[in-house]
Amino acid sequence: MILKTCKQASAWAVVICLTLFLGGCYSFSGTNISADVKSISITNFNNASGQGPASLQQWVTEDFRDYFQRNTNLRVMPQGGDLQIEGQIMGYSFSPAAIQRTDSPANQGGLDQAGANRLTITVQVKYTDTKNPANSFDQSFNSFFDFPANQDINQINRGQINQIMDRLIYNVFTKTVANW
């Protein structure tokens, strides 16, 4: 009985030591943030594209802030953070995707038509790491969503834009604090 208790105590001691040791150099949230970094500032994104819904810049800014707040222990601030993200929406564009050739008796050579349309959103992100400037960058990120060719562009909804933004923000997140 005493031997079993000693083995259990030793196992718990190992678990506690590993937890304390690994806690200083690895975060289980998937981030790789230095212990001296306490805050992140995300300024309002401007819509330099001049396209998209009127509330697009508000959605983008809020989505970035929400994502970083949910997935890090950093305090999200409007400016002056240890990590800083500034950005602009550079593109909100529609283009045909999945081009298909249709044959019809009137058009013997066939007609190229879009089988789907694509909405692409591009953001320019300037990231500043005030604690380790070597991590800083200024880079463009984009993501897209394909929707049926018969769906009117004006019918694009917040849910479809969210799908684009989720991928976009994930890419920025991994480049900034996850270092993947």
Q: Is 73 within a domain? A: yes
Q: Which residues pair with 104 in a beta bridge?
A: 107
Q: How many domains does the chain have?
A: 1
The answer to whether residue 3 sits within a structural domain is: no
Query: Kind of pairing, strands 39-42 and 75-77?
Result: parallel
Regarding predicted confidence, which is higher, 31 or 76? 76
Looking at residue 65, its amino acid is R
Q: Is residue 143 part of a domain?
A: yes
How far is the CA of 77 from the CAs of 7, 31, 112, 134, 151, in angstroms?
A: 48, 19, 50, 22, 39
Please determine, for residue 166, whether its predicted confidence score (pLDDT) is greater than 70. yes
* Whether pLDDT at 13 is above 50: no
Taking CA 132 as the corner, what is the angle to CA 130 and CA 134, rounded to the nearest 5 degrees? 115
- Max Cα distance, the chain (Å): 92
CA 40 to chain centre: 15
Q: Kindly report the CATH number assigned to the domain that includes residue 105.
A: 3.30.160
Within a domain: 5: no
**Whole-structure pTM value:** 0.74
From the number of C-beta atoms within 10 Å of its C-beta (0-12, 13-18, 19+), residue 26 rates as exposed
- The residue among 102, 92, 146 whose CA lies nearest residue 124 is 92
pLDDT of residue 147: 87
**Which tens digits make up the pLDDT trace of 55-110?**
999 999 999 999 999 999 999 998 999 999 999 999 999 888 866 666 655 555 56
Averaged pLDDT of the chain: 82
Q: DSSP state, 93?
A: E
Q: Tokens 């479809």 identify what position?
A: 160
pLDDT, position 14 = 42
In a domain, 37, yes or no: yes
Q: Which domain holds residue 81?
A: 32-178
- Which helix H or strand E contains 167, and what residues bound it? helix 158-173
pLDDT tens figures, 129-139: 999 999 999 99
Strand, helix or coil at 44? Answer: coil
Whether residue 58 lies inside any domain: the answer is yes
21 part of a folded domain: no
Give a yes or no: residue 97 inside a domain: yes
